[in-house]
Chain A
């Protein structure tokens, strides 16, 4: 045993000396590396935090015009009066504690050649830029919508519109018709419109039993959790689901929308989302691909395939077999953050795939869930497995509350 001990001593003390020897090799006078993050949503806030967590020597500036973070997940519950927007609203102080510099300003433009971002009259230089711009709407694709966009609400970015739409629904007379659409894929939060439809139908069923909800889906079928939502919709006779009915025109005066098949549908309350694309800054900086809508990225580092040193995370990305949503943006934010740290330190980024957990509430107590896990294969994200809850349940709803507590903390805490 003594011999083994000696050998072990040599081996282990050698390890210690080797590490000590490596010390002088690290660069004491390294210039401060700068990362700028555009957008403090699920992807951007997470990325900013995790860069600081992974390497506190990196200088991180987050550009986010809003002073508060409002969670899109759970905002459909506000429309049905089940949840208050206040409970979904958080501040950015947690990120400040991690040493993230926050400027509540919008990025005016990205200048990739000069590696800088213009903010008002100022400009911020970066070594790596992370863009998490979320989504914007292609208003021009629905006739009459651009002019009416202040009164015809999308409520697809949680905030003032969420509260306004809730009020519109609540003040609709019993017997009234609410109309909502589902935008053509790809759009933010694939199950979101169907969760919204379920919750509005639940609200009408309990508060305005003579009213009904018409859902005009631009897609051929329910896009996500299809079987589960079909079962849920059966429990809402006041919900009329019409597939392949892309809304092409709105006439606010006549309170009427027209679909691609020429059907005219009258409404008392309307909720429309125009087709979506990546946030405007990504389009202006030419980060979007041939479709002019979404940003293609490397699946390991989230670096744009079009612009070097610029990474894109969250709903603005395309090409990965993953849904656009908060959990995915959070996963991308973390993976991208560690990749950026590795790159800035001259290391090879780890091959880490994302995962996604997605809950949808279908009434005031029950929810359903879909979970996807992924791996990296040939430098591409590939799905390993998808699993759905067997049906709606209170247990799943309870898990969703645990999820939100945890993930909000992961994004902002």
Chain B
């Protein structure tokens, strides 16, 4: 069944990509649905929202028909997968991401505390991260060579493979409740860009922080503070620098603990 559901998710992603020019996240907002957890969070800037609403109204009829076709085609794919040789790895993105699982876990669900979870990561941020590593904007002896490994295949298929995986953060050790509460207070500063629930902003390639391993989040904050990781966007870089001035290593630990526990 696990195989089937992976194939199903992959099929949906493929078709979705073909039919809808925008990532799922934006599309969900456009079509008036709400996010399960925090519907009011992380709104798009108003100009983009207007544009999307406009685009959506125009495409409404097309989308309805497309949904029907999507269902037919997906069912057919799932049926084919059920009896043929397709498995969760039988997609181009999965093949090209084969080596990633050594560190990032199967289907991007990293069990290690200092390695980020790639499952369900927004493709926009996945691509930004790989490009940043390859360009040396993010120093990492591990990811600099691997970013070039990924780039040899192009980014789209691998980014899409991870984006459609279900995020299954493993159980990690207990966290100090006081650290969590301090982290929650501090986290209000992050909300402007990362969303009040740490769910990021795929449209602007701002990463989701929720559920990422604490040691990974802490290491990134240390890099930012030490000016070893820079943001490409000058405004973002300036905002980040101002914000990080008032934070120290203990704050980073609390923030990391807080975001790591968010689902």
Contact = CB atoms under 8 A, between A and B. Distances in A.
B112 A406 contact: yes
Interface stretch (A100-108, A109-117, A379-387): A379-387
Contacts of B146: 355, 371, 373
Taking each of B66, B73, B99, B103, which has the highest tally of chain A beta carbons within 10 Å of its own beta carbon? B99
A243 to B, nearest CB: 26
A325 B94 CA distance: 24
Interface stretch (A175-183, A255-263, A286-294, A334-342): A334-342
Contacts of A16: 69, 72-73, 75-76
Contacts of B215: 398, 402
A374 to B, nearest CB: 7
Taking each of B62, B72, B90, B145, which has the highest tally of chain A beta carbons within 10 Å of its own beta carbon? B145
A395 interface: yes
A410 B115 contact: no
Interface in A294-337: 327, 330-331, 334-335
Nearest to B96: A352
A371 B140 CA distance: 10
B88 interface: yes
Interface string A354-375: 1101000000000001111111
Given A398-B114, A402-B103, A1 B90 contact: no
A1 B56 CA distance: 12
B98 A338 contact: yes
Contacts of A151: none
A161 interface: no
B80 A19 contact: yes
B105 A410 contact: yes
Nearest to B72: A16
B79 A23 contact: yes
Contacts of A26: 80, 83-84
A69 to B, nearest CB: 16
Contacts of B90: 54-55
Interface residues of A, number: 66
A401 interface: yes
A164 interface: no
B141 A387 contact: yes
A31 interface: no
Contacts of B179: none
B162 to A, nearest CB: 15
A409 interface: yes
B98 A352 contact: yes
Interface stretch (A4-12, A80-88, A201-209, A230-238): A4-12
A137 to B, nearest CB: 28
B236 interface: no
Nearest to B116: A402
Contacts of A369: 141-142
Given A53-B89, A352-B98, A406 B115 contact: yes
B30 to A, nearest CB: 16
B104 interface: yes
B145 A355 contact: yes
B224 interface: no
B87 interface: yes
A399 B69 CA distance: 46
A345 B80 CA distance: 15
Contacts of B115: 399, 402-403, 406
B69 A406 contact: no
B235 interface: no
Given A338-B95, A387-B145, A402-B215, A12 B102 contact: no
Contact of B145 (A19, A331, A338, A371): A371
Contacts of B26: none
A50 interface: yes
Given A22-B80, A352-B98, A402 B110 contact: yes
Nearest to B98: A334
Given A369-B142, A384-B145, A388-B141, A335 B87 contact: no
Interface in B25-59: 58-59
A91 interface: no
A2 B87 contact: no
B106 A410 contact: yes
Nearest to A354: B99
A147 interface: no
A371 B76 contact: no
Interface string B164-192: 00000000000000000000000000000
A13 interface: yes
Contact of A355 (B73, B84, B149): B149
A171 interface: no
A401 B213 CA distance: 13
Given A13-B73, A56-B87, 12 more contacts: A1-B59, A5-B65, A8-B66, A12-B15, A16-B73, A16-B75, A341-B87, A357-B103, A371-B142, A371-B146, A403-B112, A405-B113
Closest 10 CB pairs of A and B: A402-B112, A12-B69, A16-B73, A373-B145, A373-B149, A16-B72, A5-B62, A19-B76, A355-B99, A385-B145
